[in-house]
Structure 1
Amino acid sequence: MTAIERLWEEWTLPIRDALHYADGRSYDVDLTPDVPPGFTVAAPFDLDATLEDDPSWVSAVDGLTVVDLGVRGLLWGGEGSHGSDGFLARLTTDRALIWALFFTESNPFDRIRVSGNTATFRSTLDIEIAVDIDDPRRGEG
């Protein structure tokens, strides 16, 4: 089990603007609300090493909106422990993590719109993040 899967079992994510995949890959991301798709993916980082340095550097997450994709799982958007935190995730049908994005300055995500294979998440700050449901890195800015 990867570090991000262990965190997800506790409904927590690292407090870092980042994209995480269940297979253990993690990438820094930059929030770019004025440039579609609303974020850019930067360098990969070692989540295990980050958590080893500070294991308490996590935020509880709580879902505010969900879209059922049927056999393809769920899309979930919500909030973190701090008012400015927001996250979006794709889950399996039994709520296991496929991928998650966490932002420290987006505000909570409370709306999801799906068109084809693209999901657009909107935060309470009206920030929109558009992602390919299968792989958020596909088509990012």
Structure 2
Amino acid sequence: MSAIERLWADYQLPDVDGLYFPDGRSYEVCLDTDSASGMRFGGAFDLEEVLAEDPDWVTDIGRNRSVPLAGGGFLWGGEGMSHGSYGFCGRLHGDHTLAWALSFEDSNPFTDIQVSGNTAIFRSTSGVSITVNIGDPLRSGAA
């Protein structure tokens, strides 16, 4: 079981801006208002290594919004409980296991989700807007 799967089982996410997949892949991500998607991806990193250095670098999450997907599963948007500025969004399978999650320390909670085809727009309480390819979020923030 990967680090993100262990965290998600307790409804927690890393306190690190990133895109996380249950197969263990993790990528740096930052908000970028100059990008059409509202974000930009950086390099891959090892979440197991990050958490080995500081196992408490996690936050409990709260779901603010859930949208069912026509093909099954859900999109979730919400907040981290450790900081008021923390927000996350993600795709879940029908059994609520994680397909992918994006987390941002400075976005504020994501409370609005609009879906059109294979694209979702997540909006936060501070006006941050990110556009995500639901099937392949890495295609969303390509530089």
Partner of 1:30: 30
Partner of 1:6: 6
TM-score normalised by L of structure 2: 0.95
Partner of 2:78: 78
Deviation at residue 70 of structure 1 after TM alignment: 4.1
CA–CA distance in 2 between the matches of 1:135 and 1:49? 25
**Number of corresponding residues:** 141
* Structure 1 counterpart SS, 2:49: helix
Say whether residues 1:68 and 2:71 are aligned partners: no
Structure 2 runs not aligned, ≥5 long: none
Partner of 2:49: 49
What CA RMSD, in Å, does the superposition of the two structures yield over aligned residues? 1.0
Structure 1 runs not aligned, ≥5 long: none
* Structure 2 counterpart SS, 1:5: helix
Partner of 1:105: 106
Q: Percent identity?
A: 50
Q: Kindly indicate whether the alpha-carbon contact (under 8 Å) linking 2:131 and 2:140 is maintained by their aligned counterparts in 1.
A: no
Q: Kindly indicate whether the alpha-carbon contact (under 8 Å) linking 1:70 and 1:93 is maintained by their aligned counterparts in 2.
A: no
TM-score normalised by L of structure 1: 0.96
* Structure 1 counterpart SS, 2:123: strand
Say whether residues 1:18 and 2:12 are aligned partners: no
| Superposition misfits of 4+ residues, deviation over 6 angstroms | none
CA–CA distance in 2 between the matches of 1:61 and 1:32? 23
CA–CA distance in 1 between the matches of 2:33 and 2:106? 11
